[in-house]
A and B are shown apart, each in its own frame.
Chain A
Amino acid sequence: MPTKISDILSHFTQGNSSELIPILQAVQAEYGFISEESVYEISEYLNIPSSKIYGVATFYAQFRLQPPGRHVINLCTGTACHVKGSEKLIPVFEQELKCKAGETTKDGRFTLNLVACLGACALSPVVNIDSDFYGNLTAGEIKKILRKYK
C-alpha cells in the first residue's frame, strides 16, 4: 500500500506555498504520477488554488499527470538524433502504439516520451525502453522491438 497523500503532506508545513514543488515531487515519487485527487488535497493543505497547482505541474517536464505505462519509452530528439532523422520515427511510434507522444497507451502497456538528449549520440538515432537502449534505430525495427515488452 502506498503512503496516503495526507501522510506525505504531514512532512511539509501547512500553508507554506514555497513547498509546492517538493510536495509534487514527493507525491510523484510515491505514486509515479500526480493524480487529480492529490492536487485537490495539496490545494487544501497549502491554500493554493488547484488551477495554480495544475499550472505549475504542467509547466515542468518532470511532472506526470497520468499514471505511467508498465514500460517507458524515451525517444531521443536531441540534436544528433534529430540530424539522423529521429523526427521521422515519432509518427511510427505513435501509429504503432496508437497514442501521442507524452501519453500512455490505452492498455497501460507503454508511455511514449520525447526527450532532448539521452547522452548516447554515437548511437543516434536512439531510443531507450526501461533500461534497454536501441541505437541506429530504423523505422522497420520498431514493431519487433516493442513486441519484447508485455
Chain B
Amino acid sequence: MATSTKLLISKPVNIWMNDEPMKVEDTQTILQVARNHGIHIPTLCYLDEITPTGSCRICVVEVEGFPRPVPSCSTFVKEGMKIHTNSPKIQAIRKVIVELLVANHEMDCLYCERNGECELQDLAKIYNIRDHRFLGSKRQNPLDQTSMALVRDPNKCILCQRCVKVCDEVQSVHAIDVTKRGFESIVTSAFGKTIHESSCVLCGQCVRVCPTGALKERDVSTEVREAIDDPNTIVTVQVAPSISVTIGEEFGFPIGTDVSGKLVTALKRMGFDAVFDTVFGADLTILEEANELIKRITENKTLPLISTCSPGWIKFMEHEYADLIPYMSTCKSPMSMQGAIIKSYWAKNQQIMPKRIFQVAIMPCMAKKFEADRSELVNDGLPNTDAVLTTRELIRAIKKFGLDLKSLPDSKYDDPLGESTGAGKIFGASGGVMEAALRTAYWLVNKKNLEHLEITQVRGIEGIKRAKIQLTPELTVNCVAASGLKNARIICDEIRAGNPNNYHFIEIMACPGGCINGGGQPRGMDLEVIKQRAQALYKLDEQYTIRLSHENTAVQRLYANFLKTLGSNEAHHLLHTHYYPRSERRH
C-alpha cells in the first residue's frame, strides 16, 4: 500500500479518480496524479521533491476496497484503483483533522504574524470550522528568541515536520528534529539547545515552508521606523539585487516583474534619506574578488578561491568545514562592503558624521541579520549594517505605510552608490557571482572584455554547475557554482579530498537557486517561480547599458578618489574580513 520508496521502472496503469478514467504511470502518487489533472487535494505537511512524512493526514482519500482512507501524498497509484478525493466521508474526516489540530493550537490568530496567510487558518476556513467542538490542552513552551535572525514559537507548531525535512534533505544541516513523544512532542535541536546555541545556519528555508506562525524572522521594522522618525539620524537604505524581481509578486505583479523604480519611490516616501542599490556593492565585490582570484592563480597561492557572499553558507562553513577557511575569499559580502563605503566615502562626501548614519539593508535573506551582527564587520567602531529587513518585512512595512506599489511612479536610486551594472544584478541568482567575476577576471588578465558576456554553463537552477572557462590560451579556470547546502557539502567534501577536479573558483549560495529563493523571500517553494525570477534577472542584465562591474563609473570614481587601487590597504581595511571556526562538527 503506502510506500515512500520510489519505484525505478514505471508502467502505465488505469485508474479512476472521482469516476473519471485515467491512464497514468505507477511511479506517481495519488496526490501527484490529482494535481496533474486539476484536482485539488489539501496538504499541510507535503512539499514537492521532499520525502513525504504523511504526518498531517489532511490529504487522505478513499480508495474502493481499502479498509480505511489513505494519505494521497505517500500512496502510489495501482492498476484498477478507484479513488475518491472529495467524498462526503473524506470531507468529514478532513474537518475532524483540522478541528483536532486547532484544538491544541494557540489560537491567537489576531496577534499572529501569519494572520491571513496561514495554511492552518485557510483549512479552518475551507472546512467551515465554526465552533470549538474539541477543547484540547494548550502547550506552554517558551518562545525561542535567542537568535538575531530566527524566532521559533513551538506553541504554534503543528508538527508537520516540513522544517525538519527541509533542514535535512535540502540543506543537510540537520539542526532540528522532532523530539519527545505524544503531547510533549516538540521540534528542537539536540538536547533542546536554543537556535543560538545550535548549528542552525539561519538560512531561513524552514521559515519559507512553515505552514503556521511557528517560524518567523526577528522583525526589526519598529527599530527602523524609530530611526527614520529621529530627526538627528540619517537613515540610508540599500536594496539587494534580487528584491526588485520578487517583491512585486505580493503586490499583484506577474512573477519576475522588475519593480526597481516603484520600490525606490516607496522607500523614499517611507522616509529613508538616501536609497542605494546593493548592486553597487556587488560590483565592488566583483572587482576585489576577481582581483583576488587572478592574484591567487598567478602567484601560485591557495586555490580554490571560494566566494563568501552568502552568510548562511559562511556560518555553515564555520560550523562544519572550518578547515576550508584558508580557501575562502576575504571579500566582505556586497551588503557589508556597501555599508562600509556609505559610512566612510559617502559620509565624507556628504559631510555627515558617520555615527549619525543608520544603515538599513533590504535583503532576501534571514542570515544577513546575523551577518549584520558579526563583530568583525565593523569599521572605526561602527557596524557596517545597522538593521536588515527581509523582503517579507519590507512588504509588511510598505502595506502598513499605506503605499500601493502598483500605482507608484518610478524613481532612480541615489548617486553615487546607486549606479549599477548587469553583472552585479545577476548576483541574485546562483552562478551570478561567478559569471560577473569571470567577466571582470577576463578583463583583468587580457585588458579587454569578453566577446560574449553570457556564461551560460553556470546559469540555471541545477544544484551544482561546473564549467571550464578559458581566460587566456594558457589559463583555463575550472569553476563550480553550488546552491543549497546539501550541494555545498558535496563540493566541500571534494575540496577536503584534495580537490580532484582541480577547481580554481567556487561559488556557494546557501539557498537552492540563490538569493531569488532566499530565506527572507515571500513564502512558498515553487520551482517554476524560482526559474522565472532568475530569468528576470538575466533579462535585466541584457537590458543594462553597462554589463561589467569594472565599467561601473561610480565604482571607478570610488577607486580613483578614495580606495586608490584594487586590493589597496584602504580597500583591505574597508572591504575585506576574516572567519573563524564555530565548533566541531555537531549538527
Is B a genuine binding partner of A? Answer: yes
* Interface of chain A residues 16 through 65 with chain B (CB within 8 A): 36, 39-40, 43-44, 49-55, 58-59, 65
Q: Would you call A55 and B178 a contact (CB within 8 A)? A: yes
Give the residue of A49, A51, A53, A59 whose beta carbon is less than 8 angstroms from that of B180.
A59
B175 at the interface (CB under 8 A from A): yes
B-chain residues with CB within 8 Å of residue A40 when the two chains form the complex? 584, 586
What 1/0 flags go to B180-202 for Cβ under 8 Å of A? Answer: 11000000111100000000000
Q: Would you call B585 and A51 a contact (CB within 8 A)? A: no
Interface size on B, residues (CB 8 A): 17
B179 at the interface (CB under 8 A from A): yes
Give the residue of B188, B190, B584 whose beta carbon is less than 8 angstroms from that of A39.
B190
* Interface of chain B residues 183 through 226 with chain A (CB within 8 A): 188-191
Given contacts A39-B190, A65-B191, contact A58 B587 (CB under 8 A): no
* Interface of chain B residues 79 through 133 with chain A (CB within 8 A): none
B-chain residues with CB within 8 Å of residue A53 when the two chains form the complex? 190
Give the residue of A44, A51, A59 whose beta carbon is less than 8 angstroms from that of B190.
A51
Q: Would you call A54 and B587 a contact (CB within 8 A)? A: no
Q: Would you call A36 and B177 a contact (CB within 8 A)? A: no
Inter-chain CA distance A69–B66, complex, in Å, is 51
* Interface of chain B residues 354 through 402 with chain A (CB within 8 A): none
What 1/0 flags go to A65-90 for Cβ under 8 Å of B? Answer: 10000000000000000000000000
Inter-chain CA distance A59–B189, complex, in Å, is 14
A-chain residues with CB within 8 Å of residue B585 when the two chains form the complex? 44
Inter-chain CA distance A82–B301, complex, in Å, is 73
Give the residue of A43, A55, A65 whose beta carbon is less than 8 angstroms from that of B586.
A43
B282 at the interface (CB under 8 A from A): no
Q: Would you call A50 and B190 a contact (CB within 8 A)? A: yes
A-chain residues with CB within 8 Å of residue B572 when the two chains form the complex? none
B139 at the interface (CB under 8 A from A): no
Given contacts A51-B189, A65-B191, contact A59 B587 (CB under 8 A): no
Inter-chain CA distance A112–B159, complex, in Å, is 29
What is the interface of chain A mostly: helix, strand, loop, or mixed? helix
Inter-chain CA distance A53–B176, complex, in Å, is 11
Q: Would you call B181 and A51 a contact (CB within 8 A)? A: no
B465 at the interface (CB under 8 A from A): no
B-chain residues with CB within 8 Å of residue A58 when the two chains form the complex? 179-181
Give the residue of A36, A39, A44, A49 whose beta carbon is less than 8 angstroms from that of B174.
A49
What 1/0 flags go to B548-587 for Cβ under 8 Å of A? Answer: 0000000000000000000000000000000000001111
* Interface of chain A residues 81 through 122 with chain B (CB within 8 A): none
Given contacts A36-B191, A49-B587, A65-B191, contact A54 B174 (CB under 8 A): no
B-chain residues with CB within 8 Å of residue A39 when the two chains form the complex? 190-191
Closest A residue to B168 using CB positions: A49
Closest B residue to A48 using CB positions: B174
Q: Would you call A49 and B177 a contact (CB within 8 A)? A: yes
Identify the interface centre among A50, A51, A65: most chain B CB within 10 Å of its CB. Answer: A51
Inter-chain CA distance A14–B260, complex, in Å, is 54
Q: Would you call A55 and B177 a contact (CB within 8 A)? A: yes
Inter-chain CA distance A133–B174, complex, in Å, is 44
Inter-chain CA distance A146–B168, complex, in Å, is 47
Inter-chain CA distance A54–B168, complex, in Å, is 15
Q: How far is the CB of B261 from chain A (nearest CB, A)?
A: 45
A-chain residues with CB within 8 Å of residue B174 when the two chains form the complex? 49-52
Q: How far is the CB of B492 from chain A (nearest CB, A)?
A: 15
Q: How far is the CB of B206 from chain A (nearest CB, A)?
A: 13
B-chain residues with CB within 8 Å of residue A43 when the two chains form the complex? 586-587
Inter-chain CA distance A58–B179, complex, in Å, is 6
Identify the interface centre among B179, B190, B584: most chain A CB within 10 Å of its CB. Answer: B190
B-chain residues with CB within 8 Å of residue A59 when the two chains form the complex? 179-181
Inter-chain CA distance A51–B177, complex, in Å, is 6
Q: How far is the CB of B322 from chain A (nearest CB, A)?
A: 16
Q: Would you call B190 and A54 a contact (CB within 8 A)? A: yes
B-chain residues with CB within 8 Å of residue A65 when the two chains form the complex? 191
* Interface of chain B residues 265 through 302 with chain A (CB within 8 A): none
Q: How far is the CB of A24 from chain B (nearest CB, A)?
A: 14
What 1/0 flags go to B429-471 for Cβ under 8 Å of A? Answer: 0000000000000000000000000000000000000000000
Instruction: List the 7 closest pairs (A to B, CB-CB), nearest first.
Output: A49-B174, A55-B177, A54-B190, A50-B190, A51-B177, A49-B587, A58-B179
Residues of A within 8 A of B (CB): 36, 39-40, 43-44, 49-55, 58-59, 65
Between-chain CB contacts (< 8 Å), 9 pairs:
A39-B190, A40-B584, A40-B586, A51-B188, A54-B179, A54-B189, A54-B190, A55-B178, A58-B181
